[in-house]
Each structure stands twice: as structure tokens, then as C-alpha cells.
A and B are shown apart, each in its own frame.
Chain A
Amino acid sequence: MWDTPRLRCLLVVACLHLTSLLYSQETGYSEAPQTLRCITHDFNIMTCSWDAFSSTNLGQSYEFCYENSGLLVCNKNKEKSADIPIVHGSTTIKITTLNASGTPLATTTFILPEKNVSFIPLTPQILSLTPDFSTEMLYLKWKDGGSAFPFDLDATWQIEVLRKETLERVAQVTYHSKLTSKDTILSWNWKSDMPLECVSHSVRIRCYINKMNYGGNKEWSEWSPIVTVPGEVPDLSFAKVFPQDRVVPVGSNMTFCCLHREDERIEHIKYGLKSYPLLHLSEWSSAIQVQNVSASESSGTNIWCSLLPYGVEGTVLFVGYPPDIPQNLTCETHTLDKIICTWNPGRPTELFASRQTNYILSERISGRNGTCRVTENTMGNVCVFTVLATQNIYNFTLQAFNPVGQTESSLSIDINQRVHPKTPSKFTVTGESPTKAHVSWYLPGNFIQIKLLCQIEISKSHSEPELDNVTVYGTVNSCYEAQLDMLHPNTAYTFRVRCSAADHFWKWSNWSEKKQWTTWEAPPVRGPDIWRERSSVGGNVVKIFWKPLPLLEANGIIHSHVVSCYLDTAVQSKEIPASLNSTDIELGKNDCNISVVAKNGAGSSPPSRITSVELPSDNVKTKQAIATGSGIYITWQSDPDVNCGYTVKWCRSPGCEPYSVDWETFPSNATEAVITSALFQPGVRYNFSLYACKSSGYQLLQNITGYIQELAPKVAPNFTVEETSSDSILVKWENIPVEDCQGFLKGYLLFFAKGEKDPLKPKLLEPGHPELKVKNITDLTKKSLRILDLQGKTSYQLDLRAYTAGGIGPSNGLYVVTKEDSVGLIIAILIPVAVALVFGVVTSILCYRKREWIKETFYPDIPNPENSKALQFQKNICEGNTALKTLEMNPCTPNSVEVLETRSAVPKMEDTEIKSPVADSEPPEDVSDTETENLVVVSYCPPIIEEEISNPSVDESVGSSQVIYIDVQSMYQPQVKPEEEPEIDFVTTEGYKPQMHLSINTIKTENHLPTEEDSDKTAGYRPQANTNAWNVGTPDSPRSIESNNENTSFGSPCSINSRQFLIPPRDDEDSSKPNNIGWSFTNFFQNKPSD
């Protein structure tokens, strides 16, 4: 493959620079050779070339002479190059240019040192470039050309991979080899990151040979010619996406290309659902790159290339994991003819169907392989290897492989130590005696070389199973048997068996199927427990009781009991069927020794004996037993005469029927017992009898009454009310029946409280009721109770409950109404009346005793003007007002006079213009005119009013042509509440007001006619002004200002009798004093100091 002539020419051109190093000796003209350049490809021959001018180029040639081994060698050549051997040191080369006739034209002599000869390997040639599209691999082959060198050399190769038509370099690698004097084909492969179908891939190589002791330059060879693997050319009809159906490991970086027709263009390429940017490869190819792909679903990940104007193409990528190392590889044998290996495949590969993991089981010693079965259910993977007769040790290797990787796991076993027998079959049980059984089973397999350890499980109801181990010698596919001893007669057993290797235990087989077997019967172990009682009626019959034997002691089905009574000489015997547990024996007054024997199908039990003798007992007490958590606790005094134990007998039901009699026997040294029975029920009273067994007979020691658990009484006691008074109730109750007590009765609780029978109201007797009272009756002999300190004519609710240590029973309620208490009622009425009377008398006495003071204080005959606020006009108002006519005496002209005819003490008021309701309450005025009797003159003379009428300039709200007396109450009202009704109509309020109406009213109420003296007092002076019109302590108020006009003079006091003002008008000084608002209590207290 070395194209020598052409390459030599190239090398000559490449070594032009050597010329500068040459020593030249020119002897001619321009035709003289010059610029000698020498290179070598094999360190043996060097190729030299030179330049020379040839003007005519007509038959010009060169003589090339050099010295070789002391000899001058000359060659003629028409070319400007020549090959000469390489010699150590320098080589003298003489080149002569000859013309066509052979005449030298010019001669040049060169001295060429070895170091100036460059070594350039020959250009390598690629033998083959083979693509593997399925794996995206390029396989390159070329010859190393080692035959050119007679010695070994180190060669370095540079390989470039170029992509696309533009030859973009995508990879450059260096490959080292050794040349071994012969031509060797070298190979190199490269995996592309892009499907080879997507675009063209090209490769070229060059080499560099390193000869250590060569003094000249060593250079890279020329690049080899490019060899190209073209990409897929799209079909005329269909597009394609590459790679197709590729299986890659998770995390790979993938490139997918879509090839299409040139008249189509790609709309998008999607990996799954995601669209990726397009990489333009060629006119008909584009690609996407997906980094770090994740595991795909079972049907693979779709790569979808959508083309325009229409069309789709795609491919499927399967991404998964390489197989995990098989875990827990286990190999064992069931029958010693095949070895079965199982394992856990570990992490799922996420690859299925043809891409799933496959396994190979190989045995290294024998070199054989097993047969493997792989299922979709990874737990079902299994390999089977046939056991070799001469081999016990097996070294297994399990290889796991799938398209993205492979792993392996190894295991070395001794087949005899990995025996896992199959499940025993044909398991049978047969009987030999009441305590023995024979079992046999079949076990497939060739166990001749080993012993088997088999385990027989013996189980019976209500007890833990027992295991019986049996070691047997192994055989070939045969039955094994064993004998079981120490079984209990007449017992239903369940057997099953399993086996393993005896010497080297590996695993138990599965249990065989269960077989039930009931052992044969045997005579009962002992006689039954017996008791006897003389009948309470007559005492001639002895009733004999026995308890059925437990199954473990009966040794079979008891079908009868034989009861025998041994008198002195005679024996009375009878056989009782097993359904009965008691019988009667007629003894009369005699006693006998009784024996009872239990019989089953296998024989009779030893007899149980008891005597019928009952020893007399004195002073038998009845105790109450303490119920403990486990049973009823009974104690007794130890008796040295007792030599055959104590027996406690009781009845399981209140009626003490024969079938309910129960007893328990204790040894002679016992002094206490706890009687327990599953049949004891809470709240039921049980009676126990303690007997001492002495040599001469049984003696009753004591009776015990007890409860296994006390409960609250079941019913409420019946009670009635015997007697009721105004403050007490007597109740009586009855006893509760014993069966309803459900415990020892501790007492009664009587609740009572006020309350009426009203179902809508809450119950009064609930706890926490404030009026609830409770009486606890602990004396059980007491059957009545009187409730005292009750209120008369009151409804009470009574509630009676019984209680035991177990709680309080239900209640029984009654409603009782106590009788009325007449004395108390009378007292309740009389006491307030008496108090009121005493208060009235005392008040009257005080008023009488202090009447002078009262009069002076409240009703002075002549009011002290200094104390009268009516005269306390404001100074600033009165000053300078000479027209003030407050006390000016004016003739009093009544507006009208009405004559009333009084026929009774209380005169009726006729219709009149002056409506004076006060008239009825003005007896003093009437009294003052008693002489006229029938006439009452109601008069008043507000001359101001007349002036008012005549003076229209006066405020009309003040003036009125009529003066009307107001009612006494209405007169008082503004005084009591002066602030509340300040605007009382002047028409009704202005005018005369009687001053003693309070006392008058009081007198009138008591129908007391005033005496003459009283009439004088009561008919005295009265302030006549409207107290509201006056300034009530507020002289600056607007009303007081209004009163400054002429009309205000009507407030001057005026004697009724004289009809003149009693107080003459004062000067300004007097008028400057504060006004007295009259006799009201309020003003009385307000004005006293200043006066």
C-alpha cells in the first residue's frame, strides 16, 4: 500500500528547508544542482532531491555520485531526485548536470550530515471502516507497515473522525502500537454519540514512528485518504427516525435524528411529551439531543417526529437498568437428584419482554450449565441443575444479563448440607394400645447417603402440642415409620410430621397433612368424688352424690356408676347410668359405708368410699363469708380429731336441687379455704356447710352465708306514710326479700325534700339539691321513722332506698302534704298588727307631747317674716323699684262667690265657675265659719289680676281673669318636686294655697273634728303665693325676674278672715331679704341659718 514514487515526490517538496544546511560547491552556471533535500521513510534509503535550472529542458540529465563503503557510486538520472543509502555520519554527494550529449554543464558537491535527513513515515492506508448501526460503532482497520523496518519501533497513530459533508471533526484519538518488522493489521473502534444513519462519518489516520537513536527529524506522516460511512439516505416515500428500538441504561445521553424527504420539513421532534430544539444535520436530517434519560415505561418512550405538510415518524427508546447482582442466591435439593437455585433479582430493571434479564447458571467444577426459568414475576426465577453422582461440592455462578449490562453471583455448596426434603405424604396413624400409636409417611428422594430427622407433632385439644423427634436412615423413595408412646387413653390426638437432614440441618420440610387419632380406652384412674346427705324429711334416705371424672382420669366414656352400701353384713348395690350424678339409698335409721365405682368400656375404677354417719354438732353458727376476688373465703378452727379432711358443701342454685349440690374436700391440716366456682354468680346468696370428717363420721361445724360479689338491692323497699302532722311525717317500710337484696343489707336511706308531684319539674331528689335531706337508717330492726321539723301545709317528696356493700338500690318515692299549722298562722297575723298599733300609739304620743314644737316649727300662728322666704326678694331687683307692691294692701274683691250647701260633714261641690277640689279638704275654713255652717265662702282677691286685665301689656301667660284653687295635692306637688314641674299652668297654680292641709288631712282621715283651738291654729295665716311663681332659692331665675313686675304682688300673704294683708308693705330693705318659699320642708332646712 505504500505508493512510493508519489510519496517520494511529496516528501521532497516537504524538505526544502534542508537545503540551507547543505554545503554546496558549485562549479557551473545556473544549471548547477542546488538546494539538496533528503528524507527517509525507513532509515535505510533516503530520497534526495534538488533544484536545477534547465533552460531548454532538452535531454538534460544528472549524474549523482556518492561514496558508499569507500567506493564512489555514480548514477545517472533524468529526475532531480535519487535514492541513496543512509550511512552514519556525513555523506558527500556530487551532482553533475549533463546535457543531452552527456557533457557536464555544472557540478555541485553536497556534504549531507545524517541529522539533516528527516524521517517521515509513509502515509498509512485505511484497510476498512465498517459501521455497526445497531450499536453505533465504527470499526477501523489498517496496516501498520512494520515490514519496512527491520527492528521494533514504537508507533503512534492519530485517528480523526469527521462528521457531515463538511467534515467537522468530532473525535481525535491517539493510538499506540509497536512495529514488529512485519505488517500487522491494527484495528480501532469508536462509538458514536449519534446514530450512524443520521449523517455521514469519515475517518482518516496518520502515524508517527519514534526511533530513539535516530539523529534526524522525525515527523508525522501525511493523513491517510478519508474513508466515509455515509448516513442513511431517506427513502423516497417514508421518513425515518434513528436509532430504532434502542435499549440504553438510565442516565444515557441520547441523540435522535429524523430523516425526511427534501420536500418535507420537520415541525418538531418530541421525546415523550417534551419537544427539544432541532440540530440541523443535513438537508434531509435533523436531530435532537436528550441528556440523562430516565427509565421508560414498559412500552418504551416514544420519540415522535412530526413532519410538514403532514406525516409522522418515530421510534421507541427503552431505558432501564442493568441487572442487579442476584441477591440471596440459594441452592438446595429436595430429592438429592436436582439442585434448585433461587435468588432475589434485586432492583427492577424496568425492562420487559425480550429486554428483560436472563440468567445462566453454570457450575465451575463440572463445567455444566443449569436450566433457568425466568418469569415476569421476579420471585419466580429459578434454575435447576442435575446432581452428579460423583460430585458433592458444587461451585455455582449465576450470570444475569440484559441489553444494558450483566452481573453475576457465585455460591459454593455441599449438596448433602443443603437437603430440604419435600412435604411428607401418605401420612397414616394406627393404634397399638391405649397409650401407643404407630405412624408412617412417604418421602420422595434418594436419601441413601444421609439420615433423616423427622419431627412428629402430637397435639390434643386444650393443650400445647408436643414434638417427638425421630431419626431414620434415608432410603430411596420409600415410607418411613415411627412409634409413639406415652399417649393418654381415649384421647383425640392430631398428628403431623416433617423431616430434615439429621447430620447437617438445613431446612425443615413443610408439615404433612394432619391426621386425627383417638387412643383406645382404659379403666378410669380413680373413683369419683362423692358426698352424701341424709334427706331432711324423715332422715331415712341417704342421698349420694358424685362428680363426673375429668376426661384425663376417666380414660374413656363413663357409661355407669355402681353405688354400693355396706351394712354390717349386707351389701346393697345398684348401677346408675352415667347421666345421673346422684342416687338415694333407703337406710332407715341405719348407717352404712358407701362406695361408688365408675365404669367405662375398658373396666371399672377403684371405689370411692364415704360413710353415712352424721355426728351430732352443737352450737352451729352461721357466719357471713367474705367474698374475695377469687372466691369465698372460709376459715375454721383446726380440730385434732379430724383425720380425713374437711368438706365444704354448697348448692349452686337457691333451690338446692340434687344436681346443684357441690362440695370440695380439704386436707385435715387445713384451716381455711377459698371456694371458687365458675358457676358462682354475683348478687346470689350461697349457703355453705363445713363438715369435719372424723373416723366415726361427718360432723357439721358451721354454716356460712356469702356472696361472690355483692350488688345493690334489686328492688326498693315498700314504705307507707302512717301519720302526718303539721311538722312531721311518720313513715313505715317493709323488709326486702333476701333474693332481692343481692348482698348483705347495710341500711336504708330516706331522702326527703319539698316538692310537688309534677313530672315536668326536675326531680328534687337528685344529688346536690339544696333542700335535699337524707336520713341514714342503719338499724335494720327499725321499720319506721318520724321526720320532724317540717313545715305545715307543705308538699314533701319522700324517697326510700336500701343499700348494701354493692351499692344503693332503686328508689321508691311518695308525695306527702303536711297539715296546716293554725297557731302559727294566727301569730303571723297578730304580730304585724300589734306592731303597727304600737307604732301608731307611740307616734301619737310623741306628736302630742311635742305639739307645741311642731306647731311652732311647721304651723306658727304668725310666721316670722324673717324666716319667710316669700319676703326675701332679691335686693338688686327691689332696689330702685318704687313700684314694688308686694306687701301693698289692696282691697280683696272676690271674683266670684259660690255658696255651697253642706248637708253632711263632707260637703259636695256643686258646679261652679271656680272649681276648687280643695274645698272638700278644707275643713278648717269651714270650721272657721261654723256659725254660718252651710255656707262656705271661697274667695280670693288678686287685685293684681284685675290690674292685669286692665293692663294688656302684661304678659298674658301670667295674667288670667280667673283664679282657681288647685287641689291640695296639686299644690303640694310642686313643692315636693319643684324641679320636675316648673311649668305648671299658672292659671291653676297662682292663687291662694292653704298652709295646713297636711294636718287637716290627717285630722280628716281620723274623722276627728277640730276643736276651736285647733281651728284657730289651722285657720291661721297661709302664704298665698304660688310657690312655683316665687323664687325657690333661685332669685336670679327668669321667673323671679318676671315676678318683678307689678303682678308679682299677688304673692303677699293675706288673712282670710280679714281679707287684708297681715303684713304691711315693707321698705326696700325688707324686700331685699331673701324670699321665703313658704313652709315646705325643703325650704325649711335650706333657709334656717341665714335667718
Chain B
Amino acid sequence: MPGFLREGMGSWMPSPPHPLRLPHAAGTLLLCLVLAQAAADPTANAIAQAYSLARLLQADATDLLQAYLSAQGPPFSTPGFAVPALGWAGVPGAALPFPSWRGLGDGERLRGNQVAYTAYEAFLAVVADDQAQLHPGRPQLLARLAQARVRVRGLRASLDTVMAALGVVPGTGPPPVAVVTANQASAFERKCRGYVVCREYQAWLGRTVRDLTLLRAKYLA
């Protein structure tokens, strides 16, 4: 199984701000301020749009992961299934030590997102193909994967807009997913690969929301 990676558990995963932690009145006021500022500042507007889209994808990614696992049979489909040690070569991992994450510059932060979602767009297509070959009788899961792919493309475009607004030079994309390697995987490897992609995709969206929250606070002020 050349694609598998075994990862340690020592990395810190930035968690998105919990919406319920913000008092309602303060949240409303903040939202109003954001909108008012966003209307005036194209940079803030782009960040706000990217943030909203990331939040939407974050909610979808949770559902996607659950739907994916439930379709793979036990033990994937058992409640609480999680194998954090499972990884896959090429799938961008979101885990990053906090000081490193906090110390990222805007350009580095945004380029990291761009690279990650470029990879995820390709991997989501691979996962969709895998699932279509494994069990084509799950049209809902296939539709979710296709929808996630389209939305990732939208998020990429939105991030490009933010980068353009901030004057960040786009970085080089990730190496393309090796098609031969993808097709040679066994069924079990495909299932695991799909799990890793969906899991890390969800984690990356959390990191993106956190990144955009940071940028929003920075450029709204």
C-alpha cells in the first residue's frame, strides 16, 4: 500500500471559532460591522465572501464524511469510527503546530490554502471515481462528492480573489495526483483513501475558516 502514511498525533489542529461562543448581540453587531466594512472595502469583501463560503463547505464536509463512512461498511460505518493514524500520500494535511500556523504570513497562508484545495479538487474526483466503481448504487454519495468538488472550485476562486486583493503571488500547485497509482489501488485502499480525503478535507476547511477569521480581523480593522 504505497499510498498509506502513518502520521503522528503531535500536531496542533487549529479549530474554527465556535459560533455559539459569541454572544448573540455582539455577534450581530460584529456581523453588521463586517458587512458595512465589506461594502466599502473590496479586500474585506473578498475575505468575507471566502469566509462565508468556507463556513458553508465546512458544514457540508461534515455531512460528506459521515455519508462516505456509512457507505463503506463496517468498521468504517460504525459510529465513532476514526483512525487518525491513517494517511495517504499527496493528501494535504491540515495539522500544523500552533506557533508555525500563527506565524504564517498572509501570502504563505493563502498559498497554502490554494495548494491544498487544488489537491482536494483532484482527490475528490478520484474518490468519486472509486466510489462509482465500488458501488454505483449510491447516487446520493456520488452527488455529494460531485457537489463538494464544485464548491471547492468555487472556494479556490474566492481565495484567488482574496490573494489578488492582497497582492499575493500565487504559488505553484501541488504535484498532480498520480493516475496510475490511483487506479492500481485495491478496493480497501480506495476506501481508506476516500476516508483520508474526506477527513482531511474537513480538517482543512476548519483551518481555512480559522485563516480567514484571522485575515478578516486583520483587514477589517
A301 contacts chain B at the CB level, 8 A cutoff: yes
The answer to whether A315 and B186 touch across the interface, beta carbons within 8 angstroms, is yes
Partner-contacting stretch, out of A93-101, A109-117, A292-300, A628-636: A292-300
Q: A298-B138, A310-B85 are in contact. Are A315 and B132 (CB under 8 A)?
A: no
The answer to whether B73 and A302 touch across the interface, beta carbons within 8 angstroms, is yes
Q: How near does chain A come to B1, taking the closest CB pair, in angstroms?
A: 5
Contacts of A316-373 to chain B: CB distance below 8 A: 316, 318, 352-354
The answer to whether A312 and B134 touch across the interface, beta carbons within 8 angstroms, is no
The answer to whether A273 and B134 touch across the interface, beta carbons within 8 angstroms, is no
In chain A, what residue has the closest Cβ to B4? Answer: A238
Interface string of B153-194 (1 = CB under 8 A from A): 000000000000000000000000000000000111001100
In chain A, what residue has the closest Cβ to B133? Answer: A353
A654 contacts chain B at the CB level, 8 A cutoff: no
Q: How far is the CA of A1061 from the CA of B85 in the complex (A)?
A: 135
Q: How near does chain A come to B143, taking the closest CB pair, in angstroms?
A: 15
B86 contacts chain A at the CB level, 8 A cutoff: yes
Q: How many residues of A contact B (CB 8 A)?
A: 30
3 tightest CB-CB pairs across the interface, nearest first?
Answer: A298-B135, A316-B187, A299-B135
The answer to whether A238 and B75 touch across the interface, beta carbons within 8 angstroms, is no
Q: How far is the CA of A36 from the CA of B76 in the complex (A)?
A: 75
Q: What 18 additional pairs, Cβ within 8 angstroms, besides A299-B187, A300-B73?
A: A238-B1, A241-B188, A244-B187, A244-B188, A245-B188, A299-B71, A299-B73, A299-B134, A299-B191, A302-B72, A302-B73, A304-B75, A311-B85, A315-B188, A316-B187, A316-B188, A318-B187, A376-B137
The answer to whether A297 and B85 touch across the interface, beta carbons within 8 angstroms, is no
Interface string of A259-302 (1 = CB under 8 A from B): 00000000000101100000000000000000000001111111
A685 contacts chain B at the CB level, 8 A cutoff: no
Q: A244-B186, A316-B187 are in contact. Are A302 and B83 (CB under 8 A)?
A: no
Interface string of B1-45 (1 = CB under 8 A from A): 110101000000000000000000000000000000000000000
B52 contacts chain A at the CB level, 8 A cutoff: no
Task: Out of B75, B86, B137, name the residue touching A298 (CB < 8 Å).
Answer: B137
A1068 contacts chain B at the CB level, 8 A cutoff: no
Q: How near does chain B come to A998, taking the closest CB pair, in angstroms?
A: 103
Q: How near does chain A come to B187, taking the closest CB pair, in angstroms?
A: 4
Q: How far is the CA of A815 from the CA of B72 in the complex (A)?
A: 88
Q: How near does chain B come to A477, taking the closest CB pair, in angstroms?
A: 39
Chain A residues closer than 8 Å to B134, beta-carbon distance: 298-300, 353
Q: How far is the CA of A314 from the CA of B2 in the complex (A)?
A: 14
Contacts of B53-95 to chain A: CB distance below 8 A: 71-76, 78, 83, 85-86
A313 contacts chain B at the CB level, 8 A cutoff: yes
The answer to whether B188 and A314 touch across the interface, beta carbons within 8 angstroms, is yes
The answer to whether B138 and A273 touch across the interface, beta carbons within 8 angstroms, is no
A240 contacts chain B at the CB level, 8 A cutoff: yes
Q: How far is the CA of A313 from the CA of B186 in the complex (A)?
A: 11
The answer to whether B137 and A302 touch across the interface, beta carbons within 8 angstroms, is no
The answer to whether A272 and B74 touch across the interface, beta carbons within 8 angstroms, is yes
Contacts of B118-134 to chain A: CB distance below 8 A: 132-134
The answer to whether B133 and A299 touch across the interface, beta carbons within 8 angstroms, is no
Q: How near does chain B come to A395, taking the closest CB pair, in angstroms?
A: 34
In chain A, what residue has the closest Cβ to B135? Answer: A298
Chain B residues closer than 8 Å to A318, beta-carbon distance: 187
B97 contacts chain A at the CB level, 8 A cutoff: no
Q: How near does chain B come to A128, taking the closest CB pair, in angstroms?
A: 28
The answer to whether B6 and A310 touch across the interface, beta carbons within 8 angstroms, is yes
Q: How near does chain B come to A708, taking the closest CB pair, in angstroms?
A: 65
Chain A residues closer than 8 Å to B133, beta-carbon distance: 353-354
Q: How far is the CA of A245 from the CA of B86 in the complex (A)?
A: 20
Q: How far is the CA of A238 from the CA of B136 in the complex (A)?
A: 29
The answer to whether B136 and A302 touch across the interface, beta carbons within 8 angstroms, is no
In chain B, what residue has the closest Cβ to A298? Answer: B135
Q: How many residues of B contact A (CB 8 A)?
A: 26
Task: Out of B78, B136, B187, name the residue touching A245 (CB < 8 Å).
Answer: B187
Q: How near does chain B come to A774, taking the closest CB pair, in angstroms?
A: 78
Q: How far is the CA of A316 from the CA of B187 in the complex (A)?
A: 6
A interface with B by C-beta (< 8 Å): 238-241, 244-245, 270, 272-273, 296-304, 310-316, 318, 352-354, 376
Chain B residues closer than 8 Å to A240, beta-carbon distance: 1
17 contacts between A and B (CB under 8 A): A238-B2, A240-B1, A298-B134, A299-B71, A299-B134, A299-B135, A301-B73, A302-B72, A303-B188, A304-B75, A312-B85, A312-B192, A313-B188, A315-B186, A316-B186, A353-B134, A353-B136
Chain A residues closer than 8 Å to B76, beta-carbon distance: 302
The answer to whether B186 and A312 touch across the interface, beta carbons within 8 angstroms, is no
Q: How near does chain A come to B183, taking the closest CB pair, in angstroms?
A: 12
Q: How far is the CA of A713 from the CA of B144 in the complex (A)?
A: 74
Chain B residues closer than 8 Å to A303, beta-carbon distance: 188
Chain A residues closer than 8 Å to B186, beta-carbon distance: 244-245, 315-316
In chain B, what residue has the closest Cβ to A246? Answer: B187
Q: How far is the CA of A472 from the CA of B63 in the complex (A)?
A: 63
The answer to whether B188 and A353 touch across the interface, beta carbons within 8 angstroms, is no
Task: Out of B75, B85, B86, B132, name the residue touching A302 (CB < 8 Å).
Answer: B75
Q: How near does chain B come to A720, taking the closest CB pair, in angstroms?
A: 80
Q: How near does chain B come to A206, taking the closest CB pair, in angstroms?
A: 40
Q: A302-B75, A302-B76 are in contact. Are A352 and B191 (CB under 8 A)?
A: no
Q: A273-B74, A310-B6, A310-B85 are in contact. Are A353 and B135 (CB under 8 A)?
A: yes
Q: How far is the CA of A311 from the CA of B83 in the complex (A)?
A: 9
Q: How near does chain B come to A682, taking the closest CB pair, in angstroms?
A: 62
Task: Out of B75, B132, B191, name the residue touching A353 (CB < 8 Å).
Answer: B132
Q: How far is the CA of A54 from the CA of B106 in the complex (A)?
A: 99
Chain B residues closer than 8 Å to A299, beta-carbon distance: 71-73, 134-135, 187, 191
The answer to whether A315 and B187 touch across the interface, beta carbons within 8 angstroms, is yes
Chain A residues closer than 8 Å to B85, beta-carbon distance: 310-312
Chain A residues closer than 8 Å to B4, beta-carbon distance: 238
Q: How near does chain B come to A350, taking the closest CB pair, in angstroms?
A: 11
In chain B, what residue has the closest Cβ to A240? Answer: B1
Chain B residues closer than 8 Å to A304, beta-carbon distance: 75
The answer to whether A302 and B191 touch across the interface, beta carbons within 8 angstroms, is yes
Q: How far is the CA of A586 from the CA of B136 in the complex (A)?
A: 90
Q: How near does chain A come to B141, taking the closest CB pair, in angstroms?
A: 10
Chain A residues closer than 8 Å to B137, beta-carbon distance: 298, 352, 376
Q: How far is the CA of A315 from the CA of B1 in the complex (A)?
A: 11
Q: How far is the CA of A775 from the CA of B43 in the complex (A)?
A: 103
Chain A residues closer than 8 Å to B72, beta-carbon distance: 299, 302
Q: A298-B138, A316-B191, A376-B136 are in contact. Are A272 and B1 (CB under 8 A)?
A: no
Q: How near does chain A come to B171, taking the closest CB pair, in angstroms?
A: 30
The answer to whether A311 and B6 touch across the interface, beta carbons within 8 angstroms, is yes
Chain B residues closer than 8 Å to A353, beta-carbon distance: 132-136
Q: How far is the CA of A313 from the CA of B185 in the complex (A)?
A: 13
In chain B, what residue has the closest Cβ to A304? Answer: B75
Q: How far is the CA of A961 from the CA of B135 in the complex (A)?
A: 126
Task: Out of A302, A310, A354, name the residue touching B188 (CB < 8 Å).
Answer: A302
Chain B residues closer than 8 Å to A301, beta-carbon distance: 73
Chain B residues closer than 8 Å to A310, beta-carbon distance: 6, 85
The answer to whether A352 and B136 touch across the interface, beta carbons within 8 angstroms, is yes
Chain B residues closer than 8 Å to A270, beta-carbon distance: 75
Q: How near does chain A come to B57, taking the closest CB pair, in angstroms?
A: 25
Chain A residues closer than 8 Å to B75, beta-carbon distance: 270, 273, 302, 304
Chain A residues closer than 8 Å to B83, beta-carbon distance: 312
Q: How far is the CA of A27 from the CA of B61 in the complex (A)?
A: 103
Q: How near does chain B come to A13, taking the closest CB pair, in angstroms?
A: 53
Q: How far is the CA of A298 from the CA of B138 in the complex (A)?
A: 9
Task: Out of A238, A241, A244, A297, name the residue touching B73 (CB < 8 Å).
Answer: A297
The answer to whether A352 and B73 touch across the interface, beta carbons within 8 angstroms, is no
Chain A residues closer than 8 Å to B71, beta-carbon distance: 299
Chain B residues closer than 8 Å to A245, beta-carbon distance: 186-188
Chain A residues closer than 8 Å to B191, beta-carbon distance: 299, 302, 316
Q: How far is the CA of A273 from the CA of B77 in the complex (A)?
A: 10
Chain A residues closer than 8 Å to B74, beta-carbon distance: 272-273, 302
In chain B, what residue has the closest Cβ to A238? Answer: B1
The answer to whether B1 and A313 touch across the interface, beta carbons within 8 angstroms, is yes
Chain A residues closer than 8 Å to B192, beta-carbon distance: 312, 314
